[in-house]
A and B are shown apart, each in its own frame.
Chain A
Amino acid sequence: MGGSAILSSAAAAAPAAAAAGLAVECTALGFRYAERDALRDVTFVIGRGEIFGFLGPNGGGKTTLFKILSTLVPMQSGTARILGRDLRGDTIAVRRALGVVFQRPSLDAKLTVAENLRHHGHLYGITGRRLKDRATAMLKRLALDDRADDLVETLSGGLQRRVELAKALLHEPQLLLLDEPSTGLDPAARREFSNYLAHLRESEGVTIVLTTHYMEEAERCDRIGILHEGALAAIDRPTTLKAEVGGDVVAIQCAAPEVLERKMQQRFKVKGQIVGGVIRVERPRGHEFVRDVVDVFGSEIESVTFGKPTLEDVFVHLTGHQFFADAKGAAERD
């Protein structure tokens, strides 16, 4: 697959942020559920202070990887070190340095915001003055100070996400791990959340690792790893990945894509991919190609679009699959 070249070059080029040391090093991670491989031979490093995203469709292995890194499920094969500590052998020490934000809520809705934070502090061995100071500081920073004594169940979804973040940051983790942090947030809240993560990295040097199936969220990461069917298809900066796609992306919709694709090959000597009933052609100077193809085959074509490659195009380029093949409707509703 075309991705292997990208993968090896990126693994060799140490990211700039890694100069300060490595936050995560995983080698040949594998994970099997009863009847299927969820992860196969996943190898990557994440530098300290990076904002790193795992992008992939649902079922690609993101959630399994998140569960392994957050110590929610025990490792099966491969090795993993987080902040220099062995994930398998030194689990408790790893947990101390991790802040975890789950996709599903992890707050006790029957307790107040302050009570949730207090219990969380105790679980991490923080008590007394320090606990009080940390809780006050976190509530203030996330603009929750006037909600401290409210029951969590009375807060809006967006506010609850903020409390989740306050909780995950209470014990001053060096690495923040977030599973689909944008799920359930409207676009404005999503942008605000992601700005806050950037701010957090700037001000405290926290490493941020997240999973996502939103292209725009992935765009804002320093580097991304693309997960497809349990394997890493590529890992690099979003801009670099998009540059790997040859020039512009032209998508042609027509009644008989196989027939038209063959004709195009003969006429223009270009090879297209048929993905989800649409012919995709990657071409430099895409606008000229659009003109030529419409000139010749105009009667057979329903519509043509062309544009600069997006991360979605990168995914299709690497895997030959549609990103939202199974759940296009669901993804659009999000």
Chain B
Amino acid sequence: MGEMMLQAGTLWTREITRFVRQRSRLFGALLQPLVFWALLGAGLNGSFRPSGMPAAMSYAQYFYPGVIVLVLLFTAIFATISTVEDRKQGFLQGVLVAPISRPTVVLGQALGGTTLALIQGIIFLVLAPLAGIHLSIAAIIAASLMMVVIAFALTSIGLVIAWRIESTQGFHAIMNLILIPIWLLSGAFFPLSGAPRWLAWTMRLNPLTYAMAALRRGLYLAEPNAIGSTAPILSSVAIAIAFALFAFLLATRVARRASAT
């Protein structure tokens, strides 16, 4: 157990060290959603009011937790791209012949990605007052805890993909085909209640919808009425955690089967 933590810990440390040395990654993962939010939030604020959204809430407020999840998603994607690069550039070979189990390798990678995503998510939270969103300490803590779960889940999904594919080009295709739609259909962009029936069902089947709902509730802890019709908090949190664990176990399984070449 101690050795396992040492091994996962060293992979985690490496992930952080690399990140700190590549500033462009920090800006990329943070600026893009910020621009998204500023443009879309401001632009849609006046003209766009999805049905089912509570009256007390502006669109920018509604969109805010969605953008946080987008920040987490981008960082998780960057972290998993580095897994593909590790394999391509050879670093992973050395890890795979070391006395370390594959699940431990995946744990180190997932924790690294989660930490990076969390740091950026928290930076984003801190910026909230600039957008006229005032958060209580309790809300920041609740939201941060949910961000850990979501970041871990998204990084794990990224790792499932990263351990299966050969090139980063393949990763981009999968990202646009799977990860972005999962985000779009999580209630990040528009609420479930106003969507057509088939879309609403797709959203209900999307595990990220519940993670999104839990984050939304955590963020607007003080004003539960402003949330609108999302799933109840306890079941949302439970589903989000189950989702994260499932994604992680799936990643360890894929990694165990992956050949090392």
Contacts and interface: CB of A to CB of B under 8 A. Distances in A.
A72 interface: yes
Interface in A73-126: 73, 92-93, 95-96, 98, 100, 102, 104-111, 115, 118-120, 122-125
A220 B7 CA distance: 37
Contacts of A120: 94, 98
B18 A71 contact: no
A106 B94 contact: yes
B259 interface: yes
Interface string B1-33: 001001101110110011001100000000000
A123 B90 contact: no
A92 B96 contact: no
A127 B18 contact: no
Contact of B93 (A72, A110, A123, A125): A72
Binding site of B, secondary structure by majority: helix, strand, loop or mixed?
A: helix
A67 interface: yes
A167 interface: yes
Contacts of B138: none
A70 interface: yes
A119 B18 CA distance: 13
B94 A122 contact: no
B128 to A, nearest CB: 33
B261 A122 contact: no
Contacts of B11: 119
B260 interface: yes
B97 A95 contact: yes
Interface string A116-155: 0011101111010000000000000000000000000000
B91 interface: yes
A119 B13 CA distance: 9
A122 B100 CA distance: 10
Given A67-B260, A73-B259, A123 B17 contact: no
Contacts of B9: 122
B257 to A, nearest CB: 10
Nearest to A72: B260
Interface in A29-48: none
B204 to A, nearest CB: 41
B176 interface: no
Interface string B66-106: 00000000000000000000000111011111111100000
B95 A110 contact: no
Contacts of B13: 119
A96 B3 CA distance: 13
A127 B5 CA distance: 12
A73 B10 CA distance: 24
Given A67-B260, A107-B91, A72 B22 contact: no
B227 to A, nearest CB: 43
Interface in B154-198: none
Contacts of B6: 122, 125, 127
B18 A106 contact: no
A123 B260 contact: no
Interface of B: 3, 6-7, 9-11, 13-14, 17-18, 21-22, 89-91, 93-101, 259-261
In order of increasing CB-CB distance, the 10 nearest A-B pairs are A122-B10, A106-B94, A123-B98, A95-B99, A104-B90, A72-B260, A92-B99, A106-B90, A96-B99, A125-B3
